Structure 1
Amino acid sequence: MPLQCAARYGTQAGAMVNREIFFGLFRFDAATHTLWDGSVPVRLGARALAILQVLLEAPGVTVSRSTLIKSAWPGLHVDQSNLRVQISGLRKALRDYGGAIQADPSQGYRFDADVVVKKPAPPRSENQPRFGIPGIIVKPIGREAAADGIHELFNSRRLVTILGSGGIGKTTIALQVANDRAANYADGVCFVDLGRISSIDFVYTALANAIGLRVTDWPGIEQIVLGLHDRRMLLILDCCEHVLGPVAKLVDALLVSTAHVDVLVTTREPLQLDDEAVWRLAPLTVPPKATETHADDIKTYSSVQLFLKCLHQRGAKLHFDNRSAAAVAEICRRLDGIPLAIEIAASIAAVLGFEEALRSLNEKSSVINIDRRSVVPRQRSLFSTIDWSYNLLSQAEQFALRQIACFAGTFSLDAGTAVASGDQLSASAARDAITSLSRRSLLSFDPESTYAEYRLLDTTRAYVAQLDFSEGDIAQRRHAEYFLRLLDGIDWDLYDDASENAKMRGYLDEVRVALDWTFSSDPQLGVKLAIAAERLWLALTSLVQGVPYLTRAFHLVDGSSAFDAAVRPRLLVSLASAQVYLPGFEGASLYERAWQAAQAAEDDFLELRALYGIIQSTLLTRRQATHYLEAFAKAAERSNNPDVHYLLQRISAFNDFENSAIRSAHQRFQTFLQDCPSISRSAYLYFGGIDSFISCKIGLALAKHYMGYCDQALSLSNTAIDEAEAKGHLTTTYFVLAQGATWVNISSGEFQRARSCLQKLEEVSRHYRPWHAVAEAFRALLLRYADEDARSAERILTSCLADEFIIKTGSLHPILWVELADARRIVGDLDGAESALAKAMSQCLGPSDVRLIGKHHPILAKVLIARNRPGDVDTARELFSQAIELSKQHDFYLYECEAAVGLAEFELEAGRPQAARNALVDLLSNLQDRSRVPFLVRAQALLAGINAP
């Protein structure tokens, strides 16, 4: 809004503080009164900034000299030459945009360039958890200057990289800086440890997991940027030197596409990005060599302070005098002031004493000083320290350390014991060795965590990897066998999403590592583990991540006699289940093969799974499923599992619904919800992966909606949303929002609630990109009905319907084609409208497909009326009548009401009020106890107008 005078400027200051004004690479932040050139603040005085703000608030409008003077020198009388000086300085500071400040000789100045005004990111939603800093933050010793320097860099940059050698304390200072700055970020601090990632292929998966994206596919930069787009947070990417390429691409995208995400990176090499500010972290200070060392003197050096602090934490009761001070000073010097090395040395001293620790260090000097050119750069400076520590371990501890190095991330004491114990080490000895390794700082341990977990330091794991030992495959086998037993032993009916989700997600990395090893070393074990992992992938909506392993397992099993006959159909069913998540991937043929294989293996359960999958696939792609339902019913008769019989009722209800047998579907849904006591989680995970009760509730809501009981439908659908969100299962939430709740609210005119549904659907779609097309389709419908913007709706629907995933939405798919046709009719594209209607009818299931025909015919009638060719009017009248009769016959009161209103309006326009009255009277005579039916108010108003004298 243009500002013409200082007084007016003053009254709007409060409204402007939340604005950011962009032009080119420049950004003016009204809240802080700062001009930014990219990520660098432009040095300008307060008067120049005040003048610039007034000009930017009125782009293209000439602002008088008096107004500009009053804004820069409030309450003062100054000569206009002062204004010219400030304008000159502004032009120089704006570089290429300096010419945008144009002078009008008779008036003043104007800013003659395009600007974009944006509001900063909205405050954090209550539904978005605030990120926290891992572990207990303890202020690092000797890092005050480093922390101050990094804070200073963040005052002018959004990306700061901490450089330094391995073990020098980059992570520690990063966490300290994060702790100091956390209050500045509404969404807190998110810490991502990339040190455990061995391949660049898993960088984005680690980031997605850290920021809470429950991905069902390999995540990419776009998904992560979308997940962080509106966040105000500090993102810490720790230990990036081995994955610099993908990290640099991601950080660059975040700096461009987000406005309020700051990034702190720890690495041995810079990212080489233009906006990167680098802080090189120096070692801790060490005492100089001296002929005489005094204890009080060396305590001023940060390396010694850290050494003594570590001793204190370990409860060591050692006397620190001048003699011992000399040994400590020498240890700190020999270890170059590297914090991790000093911590390890202190742990040795706590057991052996100062002199023995130094003697051990001297005896191992030939090892410690080796510069291993064959290893990656980040490991060189720590291998000597770890080697020294490793050689001081007992044989049992060394053995345990080598075994547990196969874990990908954190592990419990029981898991570590299972992997480390065997012929060479008993279970009790393995437990003792692991706890001892923790005390010696070779394992990290968080006593505050919900589940007591250990983690091998990344550098230690790298050290173990280069050791020459023969039992590595034994450890990998025990690791794989442990997780096979663990997955087989999970009682999924007792699984609690809220409390166990993080633990289960931790299993994903371990299973991946185990599968990689088994398929290269023991394929039969790999097949068993892949099958056992299926329910883990299903429970976490991550089945797509398992597809490569399931595929490898199937290729091993297919045609082989080395496996049980039931394994082949089991793998086929698992692979086919992924078709729900993969756009363009057709699972029906796999399910058919699985059905045949299950029959050959005489496995009733697998036959039921295969048939259920075929039915689900056919319903989602608008094909007849009657034959498969009959086969499922016969197979169910042979089962003693009550869950199977209830699942038959559920899938039969959805089959009736898709085939427009609305009364039967309504009855089946109600009966299921009333009579079914429960369906075990383990069952519904295998049969569709969607909560059976919540999905039937949304099915009943849709049935009631089409029957005209819209108030009941709204109540049921909104309850289903709440229950799905409380359940925390991604696919169930998507199903509720995409297949029912959003549609019911839009169709009923509940636009505020519909927007809430859409927001939730968009959030779910961030976790799995193909669902985004469905969310966009509903956004188009909201534009069409709530905002009456048919042109935008037409454009978005055209794009959405070109997406191959949207085909898998059942009857929603052809209805969206009808909605596209109506939008095209409104904007005058009658040919395009007829083409879209033809696309819709190509999916018609037959003459009783009311869900499609009842929506299609009234829109086609309106298109024909608009064309007004010979015979079009009579055809339109007939189409309205057919839709009314078919809807009435099948109890689709919603469509009967829409078609009757359309016919009545048409007849009134044609000068036939009695025909219009007959249609409306017939409609309203069957109203019964229905309420809030779309078009009902319009029908009553039309009838009242006709009856008026």
Structure 2
Amino acid sequence: MKDGVPVELGARTLDTLIALVSRPNEVIGKRELMAEVWPDVIVEEGSLRFHIAGLRKAMGDGRDGARYIATLAGRGYCFVAPVSRSADKAEGAPPAAAPVPGATFLPARLARMVGREEGVRTLSAQLAASRFVTVVGPGGVGKTTVAVAVAHEVLEGFAGAALFVDFGMLSDPAMVAASVASMLGMPIRSDDPAPSLIAFLRDRHFLLILDNCEHVIEAAATLAERLFAAAPQVHILATSREALRVEGEQVHHLAPLACPPDDPGLTAAAALAFPATQLFVERATASGARLDLGDADVAIVAGLCRRLDGMALAIELAAGRVGAYGLQQTVTLLDQRLSLLWPGQRTAPARQKTLQATLDWSYGLLSELERVVLRRLAVFVGHFTMEAALAIVTSPTVDQALVFGAIDSLVAKSMVATRPVGAMMRYRLLETTRAYALDIRVDDAELADLALRHATYYRRWLDRAEAEWPTLPNAAERVYRLSGLGNVRAALEWCFGANGDVRAGIGLAAAAAPIFLAMSLLTECLRWSQRAILALDDATRAGTEEMHLQAALGMSLMFTRGSAEEARTALNRGLAIAEDRGDAFDQLHLLGPLHMFHVRIGDFRSAVRYAQRSAAVAATTQDPAAVALAHSLLGIALHLTGDLDDARAELEAAVQHGPRSHRTSQIYLGFDHHSWAGIALARTLWLQGHPDQAVDRLRRTAGDAQRMVHPVTLSVVLNWAISIFFWTGDLRSAEEYMGRFIAHAESQSMGPYLAVGRGYGGEMAIRRGDAESGIAHVRGCLEELHAARYELLTTAFNLSLAQGLAATGRVAEGIALLDETARLVEANGDHSYMPELLRVKGALLLAMPQPMPDAAEACFRQSLELSRRQAALAWELRTAIDLAALLAAQGRPADARALLRPVFDRFGEGWDTADLQAAARLLATLG
């Protein structure tokens, strides 16, 4: 059926279709296909071709862009249209691998592409069959155009999960993997982000297009090979002037457009059947030239196309000049330039084989004004806006009106490419054009002035991006901001280079730091903050710029190298400057990270002090968002120290706050305090005896954090969410969130959080009876966390480890660990866990070879008293269960019932949680 109408096919034709559709996106050899369709008959290959042609005609293959069957010369046929099976939608069918969230990041497809249709079909089938294809050919042959067309052709099969990466924007091969990762919205926290990128893409059905690989070929080849081997659902389409030469690669040599032969009897009709001639005529007509080709003129066009070797870009450039110079003069100019500059040698530098000569010629046809503007536009890396061009290219000798007109002319002459983005137009110099323009010798003073204007403009761009950040609607919009960061990086490189302007670089680095933090590009944040701080002098030290740089340095150090003393020093220096300046928001900008720093190192008393200082400063601002931040910080600190009533009041005030201020959001802090407060409130609700409300708050907060696509914030939320599920006894949900947490930490290169994930895995093993394995995992986790000075979860993991030791008969060792942990709690202020620590110690005292019931009861009584003092009803219930069981075992059921029943009756929800079910069972046995 096609559109509800039966399609009439012969029996053999139908058998051919069934054989192809049964193995979609797989190349089936001709002999194999004939054996399936004619199992008992020997036929010639012409019979197969006849039925394939019939199928294509019946399905409308090739009409209105529809593609069904691809022919791979010498190999066979492949069914390339999307195929869905009804069984795929059956209930209980496993879900497909999740595509990368956000928009599809592909350049626009050309409205019409000349002479490449069969190549696109072949490449689409080849990509489906082999997963890794490199399109190889000289510069200007059309590799990128074909790659983009193939990507759009197969995009539906990837559910829109595709990314186009132009390595022409890179000058440093070491940034190849980082460029791909950053375009996917991933934070960069190590010098080699490739393992994180591989982990991120390992289970995703994804299309990755790597464009312009030739100048970073070693790095691009290494990355492509590793991705191909480790990510079995990732398809890679690369373009390069030479093969990558790595395992798994299939090379597709993209031939130039076919040109008419040098035949004296060539007619216009015959010549226009060749794609090179078609392209020339179409582009010349589009540029305003009036071509009425007769047999005599078509010979000139054919000769020109042959002279240009069928190179698409060269043909377009030549055709664009016909309107101004006429056909014959264009050929004359082209011949003059090619006779001198076209090397034609295979050993010549890649950039000078053919396109270099074409660009030389094209540059010679530009007016002096256009030449100046083109050279100045080469300062941009990647796309730029007209606003940016006018701001940077304009000078006392070239006003804005002249710049605008020159860019318009350069676009018309194909020297500047365009790309619409919504209602805005983006401009870009092709990679080879930019390299050509950069090689043109200009006055050093002019170059320095241009670079300074470039850096100054992107300093202003950063200020606008910072202001707009909280209003951006989704992660895709934030990822798009990365396109501007390429220019920021280039400007920073110049500023801190040999002939740069260090003063401008300091300001640019200070403005870039909040955006780097907000994007979790922590390695870059660390690099440029350090560089700028080292460049400070007496005139720039102790100002706003140093304050922001020290804050950024402290945060990036904290997350990339652990909570080292260097981070503390940087944050304290930033706070000192903020206090000297007297700006409340600047102080909050530092107090928030300092609060987080002390929470991470386990110094909870200091965290309370920083939170209290934040509250005092926020009260002076009259800003609701600043006050909400202070509520968050204080509530988190009070929660950790065991003051649950006050913690709940502060946290509820924080999460009830509405609109967020960008001055107190992750754009400055590096984390979202609103989400952190939400998950801390969930933990507080559980501790106070509201397990259902706790889980509801947990799931809402986790959903909000997921939608934010902010790695640091999501990690904080998932981390604490797992602990709540362990508390409620919902091990299935704990395991689900643990998987998400570990996968996230792995893909984002979060070393300490990976260790935390392994610790949670150990706790899960202990709870499920595999104590030996669990002990090993928890101990390994604690060793890593101690080395990183991440002590937030030390008490919780020590509790799990002590219970695992007891389960394996090492009760005394477990008790000693608990005693040491109690001393740490007293020293650091981590009192929220103390009732549970005392309860577990009492349970271990009863588990000793010679039980100590009196000592155990004393621990239980202390735990009950401390639970009531903290208003921690959940801890009180656990301890009451253990003490009631002890009393019942001693023959005191009435005392046991009198102890447990009042605690149990204070609960109004959560009857399916593990602790309440255990209490109900025990009460039933007590009568």
What is the TM-score normalised by the length of structure 1? 0.81
Are the structure 2 counterparts of residues 619 and 769 from structure 1 closer, same or farther at C-alpha, using a change threshold of 3 Å?
closer
Separation in 1, partners of 2:622, 2:719: 34
Q: Which of residues 657, 662, 679 in structure 1 aligns to 2:644?
A: 662
- Counterpart code for 2:647: A
The one-letter code sitting in structure 2 at the alignment partner of 1:648 is A
Task: Note the alpha carbon deviations across 1:517-550, whole angstroms, 9 max, x for none.
Answer: 1112100000011111122223322243221111
What is the aligned partner in structure 2 of residue 812 from structure 1?
793
Correspondence for 2:528: 549
- Secondary structure of the residue that 2:209 maps to in structure 1? strand
Q: Which residue of 2 aligns with 1:823?
A: 804
Residue 801 of structure 1: SS of its match in structure 2? helix
The CA deviation at 1:394 is 1.3
How many residues are paired up? 840
Supply the AA of the counterpart residue of 1:713. A
Task: Return the structure number with greater relative CO, CA threshold 8 A, min gap 6.
Answer: 2
Residue 357 (1) aligns with residue 339 (2): no
1:599 Cα shift?
4.4
Q: Say if 2:494 is the partner of 1:513.
A: no
2:713 matched residue in structure 1: 732
For residue 190 of structure 1, give the secondary structure of its aligned residue in structure 2: strand
| SS, match of residue 468 in structure 1 | coil
SS of corresponding position for 1:192: strand
* Structure 1 residues 169 and 813: CA distance shift in structure 2, 3 A: same
What is the TM-score when the length of structure 2 is the normalising length? 0.83
Residue 192 of structure 1 corresponds to 165
Cα gap change, 1:155/1:707 in structure 2, threshold over 3 Å: closer, same or farther?
closer
Residue 398 of structure 1, CA deviation: 1.0
* Alignment partners' CA distance in 2, 1:756 and 1:399: 59
Cα deviation 1:740-794 (Å, max 9, x = unaligned) = x332233223445445534543454223433333344444445555x55545544
State whether structure 2 residue 908 is matched by structure 1 residue 943.
no
Distance of 1:353 and 1:201 partners within structure 2 = 47
Query: 1:911: Cα distance to partner?
Result: 5.2
Residues 855-913 of structure 1: CA deviation (Å, up to 9, x unaligned): 222333333333324x6443333222222221122111111111222233344455554
Give the one of 118, 126, 139 matched to 1:166. 139
Kept in 1: contact 2:551–2:590 (CA 8 A): yes
| Secondary structure at the counterpart of residue 210 of structure 2 | strand
* 2:754 partner amino acid: H
CA distance in 1, matches of 2:94, 2:379: 43
Deviations 1:535-583 (A, max 9, x none): 22233222432211111111111x5345564443332222112244224
RMSD (Å) for aligned C-alpha atoms = 3.6
Distance 2:557 2:210 in 1: 34
Deviation at 1:342, TM superposition (A): 0.9
Give the match's secondary structure for 2:310.
coil
2:559 counterpart of 1:581: yes
Query: Structure 2 vs 1, CA of residues 42 and 924 (structure 1 numbering), >3 Å: closer, same or farther?
Result: farther
Please point out which of 901, 906, 911 is paired with 1:921.
901
1:485 aligns to 2:460 (yes or no): yes
Which residue of 299, 313, 317 maps to 1:344? 317
User: How far did 1:384 drift?
Assistant: 0.6
Confirm or deny that 1:713 pairs with 2:686.
no
Please name the residue that 2:406 is paired with. 433
Superposition pairs for residues 735-746 of structure 1, below 5 Å? 735-739=716-720, 741-746=721-726
SS of 2:903's equivalent in the other structure is helix
Alignment-derived partner of residue 858 in structure 1: 839
| AA of the residue aligned to 2:696 | S
Q: Distance in 1 between matches of 2:711 and 2:127?
A: 37
Offset at residue 639 of structure 1 (A): 4.9
User: What SS does the aligned partner of 1:803 have?
Assistant: helix
| More deviation, 533-542/925-934 | 925-934
Q: Return the offset for 1:713.
A: 1.2
* 1:24 matched residue in structure 2: none
Pick from 408, 415, 418 the counterpart of residue 391 of structure 2: 418
Aligned partners of 2:295 and 2:639: how far apart in 1? 87
- Does residue 593 of the first structure (1) align with residue 569 of the second (2)? no
1:772 aligns with 2:754: yes
Task: Look up the match of 2:302.
Answer: 329
Could you tell me how far apart the structure 2 residues matched to 1:299 and 1:208 are? 45
Cα distance in 1 between the residues matched to 2:457 and 2:198:
36
- The alpha carbon displacement at 1:284 in A equals 1.9
Q: For the residues of structure 1 that align with 2:305 and 2:818, how far apart are their CA atoms?
A: 80
Aligned equivalent of 1:653, options 618, 635, 640: 635
SS at match of 2:135: strand
The equivalent residue for 2:80 is none
Q: 1:792 to 1:512 in 2, by over 3 A?
A: same
Unmatched 5+ residue regions in structure 2? 1-21, 37-91
Deviation at 1:156, TM superposition (A): 5.2
Which residue of the partner structure matches residue 589 of structure 2? 609
Which of residues 777, 793, 797 is equivalent to 1:796?
777
Equivalent residue in structure 1 for 2:471, among 466, 487, 495: 495
How big is the shift at 1:512?
A: 0.8
Distance 1:278 1:728, change over 3 A: closer
SS of equivalent to 1:935: helix
Alpha-carbon distance in structure 2 between the residues aligned to 1:836 and 1:312: 84
Instruction: Read off the aligned partner of 1:655 and give its amino acid letter.
Output: A
> 1:316-364 CA deviation, whole Å, 9 max, x = no partner?
3322222321221222122111111111111122433211211221232
- Note if 1:898 corresponds to 2:874: no
Q: Partners of 1:189 and 1:340 in 2: how far apart?
A: 26
- Pick closer, same or farther for the CA change 1:33–1:357 going to 2, 3 Å: closer
Task: Describe the shift of the 1:829–1:263 C-alpha distance in structure 2 as closer, same or farther (beyond 3 A).
Answer: farther
Percent identity over the alignment is 26
Preserved CA contact (<8 Å) 1:544 1:581: no
The one-letter amino acid of 1:269's match is E
Segments of 5+ residues of structure 1 without an aligned counterpart are 1-30, 48-118
Change (3 A) 1:448 1:692: closer
Cα 1:806–1:932 change in 2 (3 A) is farther
Deviation at 1:432, TM superposition (A): 1.5
Distance 1:862 1:847, change over 3 A: farther
**1:112 maps to what in 2?**
none
Q: Distance in 1 between matches of 2:242 and 2:347?
A: 18
Q: Sort the Cα spacing of 1:758 and 1:281 in 2 relative to 1 into closer, same or farther, 3 A.
A: same
What is the one-letter code of the residue matched to 1:528? G
In the alignment, the residues of structure 1 paired with residue 602 and residue 394 of structure 2 have an alpha-carbon distance, to the nearest angstrom, of 55
Structure 2: distance between partners of 1:829 and 1:315: 89
- The 3-state SS of whatever aligns with 1:236 is strand
CA contact (8 A) 2:685 2:691 kept: yes
Does structure 2 retain, via aligned residues, the 8 Å contact 1:159–1:263? Answer: yes
C-alpha spacing 1:188/1:688, structure 2 compared with 1 (3 Å): closer
**Structure 1: distance between partners of 2:318 and 2:236:** 33
Q: How far apart are 1:618 and its partner, in Å?
A: 1.2
Contact map agreement 1:887 1:893 (CA 8 A) in 2? yes
After superposition, residues 36-47 of structure 1 pair within 5 angstroms as none
8 Å contact kept, 1:367–1:388: no
Partner Cα distance (2:122, 2:660) in 1:
59
Preserved contact between residue 168 and residue 283 of structure 1 (Cα < 8 Å): yes
Q: Take 2:660 and 2:99, find their aligned partners in 1: how far apart are those partners?
A: 32
Q: Which moved more, 1:719-728 or 1:461-470?
A: 719-728
Q: Does 1:244 align with 2:244?
A: no
Distance, in Å, in 1 between the alignment partners of 2:861 and 2:779 is 29
Q: What SS does the aligned partner of 1:191 have?
A: strand
Amino acid at match of 1:733: L
Q: 1:641 to 1:158 in 2, by over 3 A?
A: closer
Shift in Å, 1:262 = 2.5
Aligned pairs for 1:665-704 within 5 A: 665-674=647-656, 676=657, 678-685=659-666, 688-704=669-685
